[in-house]
Amino acid sequence: MALRIIFMGTPDFSVPTLRALKEAGHEIVAVYTQPPRPGGRRGLDLQKSPVHQAAELLGLPVLTPLNFKQEEDRQTFADFKADVAVVVAYGLLLPVPVLEGTRLGCYNGHASLLPRWRGAAPIQRAIMAGDAKTGMMVMKMEKGLDTGPVALTAEVEISPNITAGELHDKLMLVGARAMVEAMSKLEADDLPLTPQPEKGVVYAAKIDKGETRIDFGRPAIEVHNHIRGLSPFPGAWFELEINGKPERVKVLASELAEGNGEAGTVLDDALAIACSEGAVRLTRIQRAGGKPLAATEFLRGTPISKGTKVG
């Protein structure tokens, strides 16, 4: 028999899992997501989350409580009499009455190899730290932050130049397949749980805008990882003088380059920039208010000569 599932998620990352569970034949009795937020070009229109929009297209009921502090919201959750809740990037910490509000509990799809990178920004932090691999883990949720026992793991290589955005898109599809497999095993009463090890716990703190400026005084590999870990959002940036005025330039892609020099110095006519050790070549950049451009295209309109200092 198919499982009765409450799905809980908010961003684009969650949508493939919702669709995959529906296509696998499970009964999605309700979808929980974050309430509509101000958005649009002027920031005045209320925008439904990607999960909200996807659920409506699938004809599924959608609920958007601000939190689960109200007893009425907790009771509504319990009244669905679901077998299990599936949580993928929902954006709320769930209280114990919700965690225990279904027959089989809540299972979370998390984008890291736990216990490494528990928390809000596991994809970005893994790249910024230079990790060689990551993955999707399905775990049974408990009160602690990403501390529950692991049910299923799907590893993914982090290639040398992949950006956080590209890895995000890969992991969300891997995660959808992993969750469908986990729910199939749960339905068959064949989903063993393994406690997370106590060693190796690392927290993936939310990205702060104060850490987005590029520091060319670091080794090239660290600068490169910083750039790709923050691409496309919020984006790593440096300051460049254009037409006599300092301007922020966002870097969306880079690669390691040959060459040495004073940190922050442009080494050639193709945007190789010296770091404290080695150099990085900026390959995709964006001026404030402009569109993303390949570095070659950017340089046709805004030449940056060898010897220029940036930072």
Asked whether residue 109 carries a pLDDT value surpassing 80, the answer given is: yes
What is the per-residue pLDDT for 1?
67
For residue 42, what pLDDT is reported? 65
* CATH for 209-301, options being 3.20.20.150, 3.30.750.24, 3.30.559.30, 3.10.25.10: 3.10.25.10
Instruction: Give strand pairing partners of 295.
Output: none
Report pLDDT digits (tens) over 232-260: 999 999 999 888 889 999 999 999 999 99
Nearest alpha carbon to residue 9 among 196, 20, 278, 248: 20
| pLDDT tens per residue across span 189-218 | 999 999 999 999 999 999 999 999 999 999
* Helix, strand, coil share of the chain (percent; to 5): 25, 30, 45
Q: At what angle do helices 164-187 and 15-23 cross, to 10 degrees?
A: 30
Tell whether residue 50 is among the known ligand binding residues.
no
Delimit the domains of the chain by residue range.
Answer: 4-203, 209-301
Tell whether residue 173 is among the known ligand binding residues: no
Distance CA 2, CA 25 (A): 6
| Residue 191, annotated as binding a ligand | no
Q: How close are the terminal C-alpha atoms of the chain, in Å?
A: 60
pLDDT value, residue 243: 82
Are residues 87 and 108 in contact, defined by beta-carbon separation less than 8 angstroms? Answer: yes
The CATH code that applies to domain 4-203 is 3.40.50.170
To the question of whether residue 230 is assigned a binding role by annotation, the answer is: no
Q: What is the pTM of this model?
A: 0.95
Q: What is the pLDDT of residues 68-107, one digit of tens each?
A: 999 999 999 999 999 999 999 999 999 999 999 999 999 9
pLDDT of residue 311: 86
